[in-house]
Amino acid sequence: MADTFSGTVAVVGLGYIGLPTAVVLATRDIDVIGVDIDPRIVSAVSRGEVPFAEPDLVVSLAGAVAMGTLSATDTVPLADAYIIAVPTPFNADHTADLSYVRRATEQIAPQLRGGEIVVLESTSPPGTTESVSRWLSELRPDLRLPHTDEGLPDIHIAHCPERVLPGRIMIEMITNDRVVGGITPLCAQRAASIYRVFCQGEICLTDAASAEMAKLVENAYRDINIAFANELSYVSDELELDVWEVIRLANRHPRVNILSPGPGVGGHCIAVDPWFIVGASPGSAKLIRTAREINDSKPNYVAQQVIETCTRFKNPTVACLGLTFKANVDDIRESPALHVVELIAKALPDVELLLADPFVHEVPDTLAGYESVRTARCRDAIAAADIVVELVDHDQFRSLSRSLLAGKVVYDTRGVWR
Ligand SMILES: NC(=O)c1ccc[n+]([C@@H]2O[C@H](COP(=O)([O-])OP(=O)(O)OC[C@H]3O[C@@H](n4cnc5c(N)ncnc54)[C@H](O)[C@@H]3O)[C@@H](O)[C@H]2O)c1
């Protein structure tokens, strides 16, 4: 019978992925020690407070800390299993920046005694999990690592990518199917025992590189489909057609389901992960690269439309609705909406820009130098504006009365008012 893990887990990196993972394990009676290099995160988690907005996490985190099954520290402790959930951004040339994974591995290495499981959850290019094994063997030549010792290694290393949707992380972490790719089949088995503690979906065992690639492919698939919708928006504008109407009609076909265009693709997954495939196979991944380029071009296209419209007004006021990278979250990292606003502010520093986002209450750092940029309540921003640019499909914007928009130039990039 498949075994279920018992022991202590150290989760290295307490961000959007690591913290919910730590909490889900800790609320199922596993002793979890969360590790983060950011002292503000360590102190917030130690107080039982969530450092970012995610539904249902607040109560579970407070409960786990109060029960004593979850604690936080800045130092990697002794543990029976290590889950690495640190960032994997890309470099200026779009290659993966694995320095965080490397650093986390270096912190784990001195604590290993033999028998531990090390799981890489960070989204990574194919071969990264094996690199973790190689780095550990350099740092700990006394241990047998699975990339060289398939028989019975001292440490079991696997990749278990995360595919949760921000805003639904606490539900999806439990209900989604999970891919667990081991450097050896035994590594996959051992790592899967951790996920059996809480995962109600199917746990699919495979090799590490296939698991790494599967995660990247999921996000490249999404990116390509969004790029198709965004390309249709370019074509429709050129042909003076309403892209939303075209897509609505095409989707009446029983086997067609075109996604919605938008101001671009953001976040730290869909806008990043396809580049790891391009980096791994630059000659073959042509469609994936083109989709990235189409989606990356969209913020500039939207900003140029607004900038040109501004020239038709004497002292225009622009209401920018939404700054986050997607609806109903507070995360502005890699946000195309924020990028649109930055482009407008840079091109027209004197134009008054009113930023309204129910999840962002301060002017983001990248816009702090612009005196004409300030935050406002949504209705106030629209009332004061000549031009309204809808950038994120937050529920609050969808429910706004259309009558508020009368007499304004409206750019509804997400189609929320259709
Ligand atoms: N956020 C998502 O929706 C999502 C979904 C699927 C996969 N992922 C992947 O999960 C990984 C983590 O993403 P995230 O969104 O949780 O990132 P995040 O930036 O929210 O959190 C990462 C945390 O790691 C900490 N950290 C960095 N280096 C560290 C170290 N050496 N030791 C301890 N802590 C360290 C940072 O301080 C930060 O708190 C990334 O590879 C990302 O691509 C994210």
Q: Could you report the per-residue pLDDT of 348-374, keeping only the tens digit for each?
A: 999 999 999 999 999 999 999 999 999
Among 306, 398, 308, CA closest to 353:
306
pLDDT tens digits for 382-398? 999 999 999 999 999 99
pLDDT tens digits for 226-270? 999 999 999 999 999 999 999 999 999 999 999 999 999 998 899
* pLDDT confidence band for 153 (50 / 70 / 90): confident
Domains observed in the chain: 8-201 (3.40.50.720), 218-412 (3.40.50.720)
**Pairing between β-strand 8-12 and β-strand 70-73 as defined by DSSP bridges:** unpaired
Distance 350 CA to ligand 1 centre (A): 37
Distance 310 CA to ligand 1 centre (A): 39
* 13 in contact with ligand 1, CB cutoff 6 A: yes
pLDDT tens digits for 165-207? 888 999 999 999 999 999 999 999 999 999 999 999 999 999 9
- pLDDT at 150 (0 to 100): 63
**Residue 197: left if φ>0, alpha if ψ -120 to 50, beta else—which one?**
alpha
Mean pLDDT over residues 390-413, rounded? 95
Distance 261 CA to ligand 1 centre (A): 28
pLDDT tens digits for 48-90? 999 888 889 999 999 999 999 999 999 999 999 999 999 999 9
Q: Report the amino acid identity of residue 176.
A: N
* 334 in contact with ligand 1, CB cutoff 6 A: no
DSSP 224: H
**Pairing between β-strand 81-84 and β-strand 117-120 as defined by DSSP bridges:** parallel
pLDDT at 38 over 70: yes
Scanning 200-268, the segments in alpha helix (DSSP H) are 208-238, 243-250
Helix axis angle, 128-139 to 99-108, nearest 10°:
40
B/e letters for 135-153, b = 16+ CB within 10 Å, e = fewer, are bbbeebeebebbbeeeeeb
Residue labelled with tokens 């990356």: 296
- pLDDT at 281 (0 to 100): 94
The per-residue DSSP string of 20-47 comes to HHHHHHHTTT-EEEEE-S-HHHHHHHHT
* pLDDT confidence band for 278 (50 / 70 / 90): very high
* 36 in contact with ligand 1, CB cutoff 6 A: yes
* 12 in contact with ligand 1, CB cutoff 6 A: yes
- pLDDT at 301 (0 to 100): 98
Count Cβ atoms below 10 Å from residue 218 Cβ, excluding itself: 17
* 294 in contact with ligand 1, CB cutoff 6 A: no
- pLDDT at 1 (0 to 100): 59
pLDDT at 95 over 70: yes
**215 classed as catalytic:** yes
The Cα-based distances of 267 to 105, 182, 296, 324, 379 in angstroms read 25, 27, 12, 9, 27
Active-site residue (options: 199, 269, 320, 378): 269
Specify the residue with its C-alpha closest to ligand 1, atom 33. 36
Rounded to an integer, what is the distance from CA 87 to the centroid of its chain?
A: 10
- Inter-residue contact 154 to 142 (CB < 8 Å): no
**269 classed as catalytic:** yes
* 85 in contact with ligand 1, CB cutoff 6 A: yes
Count Cβ atoms below 10 Å from residue 349 Cβ, excluding itself: 13
Mean pLDDT of the chain: 96
Mean pLDDT over residues 119-143, rounded? 97
Specify the residue with its C-alpha closest to ligand 1, atom 3. 166
- Inter-residue contact 157 to 187 (CB < 8 Å): yes
- Inter-residue contact 9 to 32 (CB < 8 Å): yes
* pLDDT confidence band for 305 (50 / 70 / 90): very high
C-alpha angle 396-400-405 in degrees, rounded to nearest 5: 135
